Amino acid sequence: MFLKFLRLEFKSFFRGTSLGINLAMKILRFIGILYFMLCLVGGAFAAFYYIQEEMHQDPLKIVSKFLVAAWAVDLILKYMWQEMPTQNIKPFLTLNIPKKTLVNYMLSKTFLSAFSWLNSLFFITFSAIALFNGYSFINVFGWFIGVSLLFYLNNFINILFNDKETIAIVVGCIFAAVAGLTYYNILPTLSYSEAFFYGFFEKPYLALISIALFLGLWWICFKHIHQVFYLDEGLEAKKTVGKTENIAFLNKYGAIGTFINNDIKMLRRNKVTKGILLGSFMFLFYGMLMFTSSIYKTPAMIMFMGLFVTGGFQFMFGQRVPAFDSSYYPLMMTLNVPYKEYLKAKWWLMNIVTAASMVIAACYAYFGWEMYVTFLAAGIYNIGVNSQFTLWSGAFNKTQMDLNAKEKRFGQKNSFNMKSLLLLIPKMFLPMVVFATMQYSFGITAGVISIAILGLIGFLLREKIFDIIVKHYKVEKYSTLEAFKNKD
């Protein structure tokens, strides 16, 4: 039966209405997965021989020491991006197929995701190298089974707590607190991790605990899904009572104020937009990467980080215009909606948040005024130039969005567009090249001033640019309407 399900999904892929885009996205994802596969296999070789020859320690002990961090990161990534494949299962609920078969198929399919099996490449390679270097087969096999199954448990944890945001926030705070206590050597978490995971090598029979946990959580998830596996219950979108809110002072700004008012309500009420707000907040800490790798200390990369620190909300929100309004976009297009004011409202909202990010980014002045003025210039460029180009790229984003469903994909097929990719040149590459060139030639002051001037020029020419953007939105209007009406 499982093979029949897979065969049907294979056919649906090639019979879909967007085969070309699907293939392009699949090819890009395959290249990305292949890259990570090579990194993990190469990382296993590098980790084993570096620890053995340079550090002169037991590679299994050192790797076990850091597995708790890897396990936590794996759980976070699965929660953020891995989703249950329910949409392809719904049509089978009306057929004479045992419900338990469908549930087991759904659970099995989660292990086909790259998020599930990629880390196994590291463990398989690392274990093979250990065997080649004379480690006991029974001990290495026990370590491999025990560790691998604990990582696979994250699939079940993700299923059980996928829609429980309060629990996720509490767990995230606990992870952050433990990480902080470990960093300041208050809590010996790494020592506990070494003792726990290395125990699978010293006592291979402990792998039976991982096997029992795996089978137990499979049964718990099976019962959990089986109880709500109905079209009108577990697989139905959750509904909540709507609340009427109004930010009165925005109404005095006419149509722009009304649109901003609606967008603020949308950001506060829906799962996807709440995720964007959280992601935008996390982007404020993106500049901390500068202190973990020397590559981020180059002028071009400092500007790159400045663009993201000050423009995280802009990039995450702006490129989804008008996809946020996809549920009522056809209705809106039948009304006398002033397109320019509609886009200007998005522009003002993005720039208000960007300006606030520029103020918050002042904390980076602790690491040197050069960094902060670079981030400040990047913020000015985001306001004057990138805010408009981000809205422009939104004209080619024809992805229908369900605001009440958690968004867990790296990219959507309809958002893959060569025009959107070309707009990355003025958004990212131009300021990086200009800043790096001016700093190397005339110093950091010249680099900062040049980026700030580009931002001011874009701000002064905003009306002309808005006319061009509105024109492109109108050109893409009917293809966008068709895409938003397509439920596939």
- Which pairs count as long-range contacts for 110-117, CB under 8 Å and 24+ apart, including other chains? 110/82, 110/84, 110/85, 110/155, 110/159, 111/152, 111/155, 113/82, 114/29, 114/33, 114/36, 115/74, 115/77, 115/78, 115/81, 115/82, 116/78, 116/82, 116/152, 116/155
Query: Which residue range(s) make up the domain with 69?
Result: 26-227
End-to-end CA distance of the chain: 24
Structure confidence at residue 410 as a pLDDT band (50, 70, 90): very low
- 387 has a pLDDT exceeding 80: yes
Contact between residue 256 and residue 342 where contact means Cβ atoms under 8 Å apart: no
Is 37 inside any structural domain?
Answer: yes
Structure confidence at residue 248 as a pLDDT band (50, 70, 90): low
- pLDDT for position 45: 92
Specify the DSSP class assigned to residue 200: H
- pLDDT for position 197: 94
- pLDDT for position 407: 47
Query: How far apart (Å, rounded) are the C-alpha atoms in residues 29 and 410?
Result: 10
Which domain-ending residue is among 179, 196, 227? 227
Same domain (yes/no): 88, 167: yes
All residues at 6 or more sequence positions from 420 whose CB lies less than 8 Å from its CB, including other chains: 319, 393, 396, 397
Same domain (yes/no): 56, 112: yes
Same domain (yes/no): 324, 416: yes
Query: How far apart (Å, rounded) are the C-alpha atoms in residues 361 and 311?
Result: 11
Q: What is the mean pLDDT of residues 198-202?
A: 94
Identify the sign of the CA torsion 288, 412, 170, 64.
negative
Is 106 inside any structural domain?
Answer: yes
Q: Which one has a higher pLDDT value, 211 or 234?
A: 211
Is 16 inside any structural domain?
Answer: no
CA 436 to the chain's CA centroid? 28
CA 409 to the chain's CA centroid? 7
Q: What is the mean pLDDT of residues 433-439?
A: 89
Which domain-ending residue is among 196, 227, 258? 227
Residue 14 CB: number of other CB atoms within 10 A? 9
Structure confidence at residue 308 as a pLDDT band (50, 70, 90): confident
Which domain-ending residue is among 194, 227, 260? 227
Q: What is the mean pLDDT of residues 136-158?
A: 92
Domain count, the chain: 2
Same domain (yes/no): 202, 306: no
Is 460 inside any structural domain?
Answer: yes
- pLDDT for position 420: 55
Q: What is the pLDDT of residues 229-240, one digit of tens each?
A: 765 554 444 555
Is 72 inside any structural domain?
Answer: yes
Q: What is the pLDDT of residues 343-359, one digit of tens each?
A: 888 888 889 999 998 88
Query: How far apart (Å, rounded) are the C-alpha atoms in residues 91 and 41?
Result: 39
Query: How far apart (Å, rounded) are the C-alpha atoms in residues 368 and 373?
Result: 9
Angle at alpha carbon of residue 60, lines to 56 and 61, rounded to 5°: 75
Structure confidence at residue 427 as a pLDDT band (50, 70, 90): confident
Same domain (yes/no): 327, 395: yes
- Which pairs count as long-range contacts for 68-72, CB under 8 Å and 24+ apart, including other chains? 68/189, 68/190, 68/192, 68/193, 68/196, 68/197, 69/179, 69/190, 69/193, 70/119, 70/151, 71/150, 71/151, 71/154, 72/175
Is 21 inside any structural domain?
Answer: no
Query: How far apart (Å, rounded) are the C-alpha atoms in residues 83 and 134?
Result: 41
Same domain (yes/no): 219, 172: yes
Same domain (yes/no): 283, 168: no
Q: Which one has a higher pLDDT value, 180 or 450?
A: 450
Q: What is the pLDDT of residues 267-305, one digit of tens each?
A: 877 777 777 787 788 888 777 766 555 555 678 888 888
- pLDDT for position 470: 85
All residues at 6 or more sequence positions from 413 whose CB lies less than 8 Å from its CB, including other chains: 18, 21, 22, 25, 399
- pLDDT for position 408: 46
Same domain (yes/no): 187, 336: no
Q: Which one has a higher pLDDT value, 326 or 294?
A: 326
- pLDDT for position 192: 93
- 71 has a pLDDT exceeding 80: yes
Q: What is the pLDDT of residues 20-42, one digit of tens each?
A: 555 666 676 778 788 888 888 99
All residues at 6 or more sequence positions from 33 whose CB lies less than 8 Å from its CB, including other chains: 114, 118
- 196 has a pLDDT exceeding 90: yes
Same domain (yes/no): 391, 431: yes
- pLDDT for position 199: 93
| Summary mean pLDDT of the chain | 79
Is 374 inside any structural domain?
Answer: yes
- pLDDT for position 295: 54
- 321 has a pLDDT exceeding 60: yes
Listed in order, strand segments (DSSP E) in 5-113 are none
Helix (H) or strand (E) holding 265: helix 254-269
Q: What is the mean pLDDT of residues 314-328?
A: 79
- pLDDT for position 3: 65
Q: What is the mean pLDDT of residues 327-344?
A: 77
Structure confidence at residue 412 as a pLDDT band (50, 70, 90): very low
Q: Which one has a higher pLDDT value, 324 or 200?
A: 200
Same domain (yes/no): 90, 137: yes
Which of these, 439, 346, 333, lies nearest to 389 by C-alpha position? 346
Query: How far apart (Å, rounded) are the C-alpha atoms in residues 321 and 334?
Result: 18
Structure confidence at residue 66 as a pLDDT band (50, 70, 90): very high
Is 176 inside any structural domain?
Answer: yes
Same domain (yes/no): 192, 116: yes
Same domain (yes/no): 414, 453: yes
